Amino acid sequence: MLRVDTPNFPYFLLVGILPWNFFAQSLMMSTSSIVDNGGLIRKVWLPIEVFPIATVFFNLAQYLLAMAVLFPMASFFFRVPLSRSALAFFVVLPLHVIFTLGLGFFFAAATVFYRDVKHFTEIFLMLLFWLTPIIYDVRVLPESLRATVYANPLSFFITSYQDIFYRQIVPDPFHLLVLFSLSGLSLAVGYIVFSSCKVRFAEEV
Amino acid sequence: MFPLIEIDNVSKAFTIRHNRTNSLKSSFIGIFHKRFRETKETLWALKNVTLSVAPGETLGLIGRNGSGKSILLRLIVGIYRPTQGQVRFPNGARVGAMIELGVGFHPELTGRENVFLGASIHGLSRGEVEEIYPGVVEFSELDSFMDVPIKNYSSGMHARLGFALAINLNPQVLLVDEIFAVGDEAFQRKCIEKMEEFRGEGKTIIFVSHAAETIKNFCERACLLDHGSLVFLGAPSKAIEEYHRLLAS
Ligand SMILES: Nc1ncnc2c1ncn2[C@@H]1O[C@H](COP(=O)(O)OP(=O)(O)OP(=O)(O)O)[C@@H](O)[C@H]1O
Ligand SMILES: [Mg+2]
C-alpha cells in the first residue's frame, strides 16, 4: 500500500529509524538516569545535570556510529549518493540533540517524584512511533492525516532527516524555524523544571 | 581566626508522606478515592542547630538513631539544602565526600573500577587517580579483590575500600559517618591511626560514632544531638555522660 509510493523503501526506513532510536533510547535512559544513580547522588555532591546530559551524549555517540557504518553501506547498495543537502545534517542534528535533552531533563525529574513515569514513557514512545513518519512517508498520507502527524513535534525532525538524506533536498526555512523553536522550547522548559526541583533529588531518590 | 564551617541556625524539614503516592497512577486514583490520597506531615529532622568548626579541629557527633547526625553531615557536604539557616565556609574550604558505608559505589563494577569512578567524580584526572591508586589498594589491603565486583564484597571490605579511597582523595575536611561498626579491630585501629595522622597535618575531622571510647579518646569536642536539636556541645567525656543520661531517661 504505502510502500508502493516509496521507492527504495529500506533506505527510507533506515533514514528515519536511526534518529528515532537515538531519540527513544535517550528518553528511556534519561527517564531513569537520576533514580538509577540515587546511591551516588545521596552520597556525593555533584552537578546532577550530568546524568541526563551524559545519557543523551552516550546515545548520540551510538547514533553517529550507526550512521557512519550504515550510510556508506546503504548508499552503496541503494545507489543513493550523498548530495550536498547532507550538510544540513549539521544544523538538524544539534537541534535534535537539544530537543531530546530538554525532554530528557523533564522526564528525569518527573521520575524522581512519580516512579511510574518510566512505564508511561514506554507506552508514550510506542504511540509516538506510529505518529511519526518513519515507516511511512508523510507525503503519501491524505491531507487530513498529515495535520495529526505534524502535531507530533518529532515528525518535523524525522522529515528533515528524510529531506536531507532520502529526498536530498535542504529542508525549507520554515521547517528549520520550527525545529529551532521546538528545540529551544523543549530545552527551556525541561531545564527550568529540572533545576527548580534538583535540590530535592537527593532527598527523594 | 575564621571558623572553617559555620552552621548558623540550621533547620531541616522533611515531608513525611503517609500513604505515599509516588506514582502517577496512585495520584490519579487519589482524586477519586479518599483512601488512596496521601497526607503530609512535616518532620523537623534538625532544629536550629548552631555550630562552628575551627580549622584543624576534631569534632565528634553523637546521638541516638535518627537524631539527625547523618543529615548534618549531608548538609555540610551540600547534598541536602537547609530548610532554614545557612551553612557557610568562610575560608572557602573544600569538603570532600562523606565516608559512610557504601560511599556511592556501583555494585556491578569491580573495586578497581569503582576507585577510578569515585575519584573522577571528585574531580581527579586519570593521571591523578593512577597516582593515588596504589595507596588506596595498600590501605584497604584488598589487593586480591580489586577485580571482584563490589556487590560480592563483605560489608567490612566495602567500608575498607570506602575509607581508603576517601582519605587518599586528601580532602581538607574529613567527614566520617559510623564506618567502624563493620570493620574488624585491626582496620579500626588503622583508621584511627590514619585519622591521627590527618589531624597532625592540621586537617579538620567530623566524626560520627556510637563508640563512646573512640569519641572520648579521639575528639577534642563532641556534639550531642537529640531529636534534631543540639543539646550539648563541649568536652567529649561530658557529652558522653549527657548522652548516657539521655538514654537512661
Ligand atoms: N530523605 C529523607 N526523607 C525523609 N526523612 C528523612 C530523610 N533523610 C533522613 N530522614 C529522617 O531524618 C531523621 C534523622 O536521620 P539521620 O540519618 O540523620 O539519623 P542519624 O542520627 O544518622 O541516625 P543513625 O545513628 O541511625 O545513623 C530520621 O528520622 C530520618 O528518618
Ligand atoms: Mg546515620
**Is the Cβ of B24 closer than 8 Å to some Cβ of chain A?**
yes
Spatial distance between the Cα atoms of B184 and B191, rounded to a whole number of angstroms: 11
Nearest CA to ligand 1 atom 29: B66
The Cβ-side half-sphere exposure at B160, using a 13 Å CA radius, reads 25
Which ligand is located closest to the Cα atom of residue B243?
A: 1
Kindly state if the Cβ of B228 falls inside 6 Å of ligand 1.
Answer: no
B6 exposure class (CB count in 10 Å sphere: 0-12, 13-18, 19+) = middle
Q: Grid coordinates 547534598 are at which residue? A: B79
For chain A, what are the domain ranges?
9-204
C-alpha cell at A180: 529551532
**Is the Cβ of B43 closer than 8 Å to some Cβ of chain A?**
no
Distance from CA of B41 to the nearest CA of A (A): 15
Confidence of residue B10 (pLDDT cuts 50, 70, 90): very high
> Which residues, 6 or more positions from A84, have their beta carbon under 8 angstroms from its beta carbon?
none
Higher pLDDT, residue A103 or B120: A103
Calculate the alpha carbon distances from B135 to B58, B100, B169, B196 in Å: 24, 19, 10, 17
Per-10-residue mean pLDDT of chain A, 205 residues long, equals 69 93 96 89 85 96 92 80 86 97 96 91 94 91 88 94 91 94 97 93 86
Tens digits of residue pLDDT in A89-143: 999 999 999 999 999 999 999 999 998 899 999 999 999 999 999 999 988 888 8
Highest mean pLDDT among A134-148, B14-28, B77-91, B127-141: B127-141
Task: Choose one of B17, B43, B209 to mutate for the ligand 1 pocket test, by most ligand atoms within 8 angstroms of C-beta.
Answer: B43
Q: Grid coordinates 569503582 are at which residue? A: B114
Average the pLDDT over B4-18 and give the result. 88
Tens digits of residue pLDDT in B72-108: 998 988 888 899 999 988 877 667 666 665 556 888 8
DSSP classification of residue A171: P
C-alpha cell at B104: 556511592
Kindly state if the Cβ of B140 falls inside 6 Å of ligand 1.
Answer: no
Residue B23: the pLDDT is 79
* Fold adopted by B5-9+51-248: Rossmann fold (3.40.50)
- How would you classify the pairing of strands B39-53 and B95-99? unpaired
Tens digits of residue pLDDT in B171-223: 888 888 877 777 788 888 888 888 889 889 988 899 898 888 889 988 999 99
Tell me, what amino acid is at B151?
K
Kindly state if the Cβ of B17 falls inside 6 Å of ligand 1.
Answer: no
Residue of B21, B71, B79 to mutate, testing the A interface (most A Cβ within 10 Å of its Cβ): B79
A chain contacts of residue B104, beta-carbon cutoff 8 Å = 39-40, 42-44
B chain contacts of residue A202, beta-carbon cutoff 8 Å = 74, 79-80
Residue A3: the pLDDT is 46
C-alpha cell at B90: 568562610
Instruction: Report the interhelical angle of A89-113 vs A50-78 (nearest 10°).
Output: 140
Distance from CA of B129 to the nearest CA of A (A): 17
Mark yes or no for CB contact A43/B81 under 8 Å: no
For chain B, what are the domain ranges?
5-9+51-248
Distance from CA of A64 to the nearest CA of B (A): 26
Task: Choose one of B11, B65, B70 to mutate for the ligand 1 pocket test, by most ligand atoms within 8 angstroms of C-beta.
Answer: B70
User: Three-state SS for B219?
Assistant: coil
Average the pLDDT over B156-184 and give the result. 84
Picking from A44, A114, A203, the nearest residue to B104 by CB comes out as A44
Picking from A42, A114, A120, the nearest residue to B79 by CB comes out as A42
Ligand 1 centroid – CA A92 distance (Å): 48
ipTM surpassing 0.85: no
Cα end-to-end span (Å), chain A: 49
Check: pTM over 0.90? Answer yes or no.
no
Average the pLDDT over B150-167 and give the result. 88
- Asked if A167 contacts A138 with a C-beta cutoff of 8 angstroms, the reply is no
